[in-house]
Structure 1
């Protein structure tokens, strides 16, 4: 009598990580004129010193004499600032984006059975959806000039030029594309989306996009690069901060810049699949718990069973997900990359 075989259950390995498949460079800011773009100059960071007032909320019981002593004093501070010159009305943000193939293979995995199951999962997704939905959302975010962040809200006109490797160049009206709605399909974005999809599928060996975003904001207007998050360090002997500036802006050799993490955040802000999207109507960056730090909110709490780990553990171990949107979300998290290993049972 032949012995019955019991199929081994696939589990999440203790060592499991994925490299990001959307790899942006840092962004650099230049100044030019909207109707005369032949000349462009790097936008430099400058330091300013100001004599302001203290407008922080008072703490504790309000004591008149203490209030007068603290709030009548001038608030002296130095800070970095960034401006267009008197002959520049347009800011240019330029960066590159590498779309990397190889999603079906983890960068680190200590379980061969899981690696096979995971690879089959990615192949099944590719056969079913072909990365089209994700690619068109990434393309829309690139074409909208979303990476400008605060600079975008100041712009009266936005134009985005995208060079696909050494081939075609496309120009888009960035103000045309919504930031929080991906339900509309834009035909002019299809060549860019198709190129991104081919790289994600592995049909081409990686893809390089060069992106130049032009934003008309007006002569001499302020420009907003990334701000450095400086941790305050105290000297035990001298009660002064090591970092006296109130604002430090990111720059490379003095040229104003945007962190690559911030550009990546803009491109992957495609999550309109989380449970309360219909009430919020705000697209979220792809995150494992749908976390938004500036609002101190979590939109994919594990208790809702819609967080990445809950969905990924099912999909990657041969279970299926009922909702198509959950599959898109899981794959988008894997494209984002990260360390997702499980706990050892020992």
Structure 2
């Protein structure tokens, strides 16, 4: 599996932006808007008082007491609004069944056989279950998960509706009651079909209703910007509505990142699932959990695909599928450019 130069897969999960809005007696959609604030923040940074080598700067107590004016954006639930909505759509396609681009016919055939065996042995159900667990738990709400109550509703293109009355009871370790477990399995079966059948056109509308406290702060996606004089140094993502107004939102990439947080295969004692990534980036600890030295990164494991095909042929139970195989297929579902270059 070392002979290819070009290899890429189209992503299998394509979420939309997740838009925040609320309802009133006059409208079912009022976009949640931003506020521009100028504040006098105190100096609190390390560099305000210390040099890079750790030595103290020649600075007085008065200098450190001066304010640090800042221009930032913020977002709060309007007064007397109790329920806030956040909604996105999800398209799922069977794009991991074979490469989108690969010039080596042997590599292409090996990868197609690999995904075929994975499909035959029921491996995609494991991936679908993990994706759906992140949907139903509200993991995609990120910092906005802490509420007085969070209701999640999923309506699929098969005209099925799945409702989690309070996603706060659902976690990665415990999906909740028997009722919630049935919802997870039913939704995962639909997604599994979409991941494995190119003739299926499957969509889902996902909506969370957040019960909020009075004027609570909301945390949409934050833009990565180069500061320009006169603009806020901290800006949030928005999407333009048909009437010209703007609603705060999560970027589609941020929603996708939350759904892809299924990799707890990186260690037998993994403390949490990581976002599926070629090198297992753990942002919390600023480390790559799948460093090539550990021989568990995507590119190292990809060389073993022919051996994993043989392994899958002897699997009689989906639970017996090797974790490295699950991880490889999760990366292929994520999609991306895996080219080796010209050399």
Q: Give the TM-score band, short-chain normalised.
A: 0.7 to 0.9
Q: What secondary structure sits across from 2:37 in the alignment?
A: strand
What's the offset of the Cα at 1:156? 2.2
What's the offset of the Cα at 1:292? 2.1
What's the offset of the Cα at 1:37? 12
Q: 1:316 to 1:107 in 2, by over 3 A?
A: farther
Per the alignment, residue 4 of structure 1 pairs with none
Aligned residues: 322
TM-score, normalised by the number of residues in structure 1: 0.85
Query: Is 2:281 the partner of 1:291?
Result: yes
Of the three residues 4, 16, 29, the one matched with 2:20 is 29
Of the three residues 207, 214, 222, the one matched with 2:209 is 214
Q: What secondary structure sits across from 2:218 in the alignment?
A: coil
Per the alignment, residue 257 of structure 2 pairs with 265
Q: Which runs of no fewer than 5 residues in structure 1 stay unpaired? A: 1-9, 233-240
Q: What secondary structure sits across from 2:155 in the alignment?
A: strand
Query: Is 2:200 the partner of 1:205?
Result: yes
Q: 1:149 to 1:199 in 2, by over 3 A?
A: same
Of the three residues 45, 48, 56, the one matched with 1:62 is 56
Deviation sequence 1:10-59 (CA, Å, 0-9, x none): 544101000100001111001348xx998442101111111221111221
Query: Is 2:30 the partner of 1:41?
Result: yes
The CA RMSD over aligned residues, in Å, is 2.6
Per the alignment, residue 235 of structure 2 pairs with 248
CA distance in 1, matches of 2:129, 2:136: 10
Q: Which runs of no fewer than 5 residues in structure 2 stay unpaired? A: 241-245, 313-320
Query: Is 2:44 the partner of 1:51?
Result: no
Q: What secondary structure sits across from 1:134 in the alignment?
A: helix
CA distance in 1, matches of 2:43, 2:311: 54
Per the alignment, residue 326 of structure 1 pairs with 324
TM-score, normalised by the number of residues in structure 2: 0.86
Per the alignment, residue 6 of structure 1 pairs with none
Report if the CA contact (8 A) 1:101-1:201 is conserved: yes
Pick which of 95-104 and 192-201 moved more.
95-104
Report if the CA contact (8 A) 1:130-1:197 is conserved: no
What's the offset of the Cα at 1:261? 0.7
Deviation sequence 1:220-247 (CA, Å, 0-9, x none): 1111100011134xxxxxxxx5475231
Q: What secondary structure sits across from 2:109 in the alignment?
A: helix
Per the alignment, residue 336 of structure 1 pairs with 334
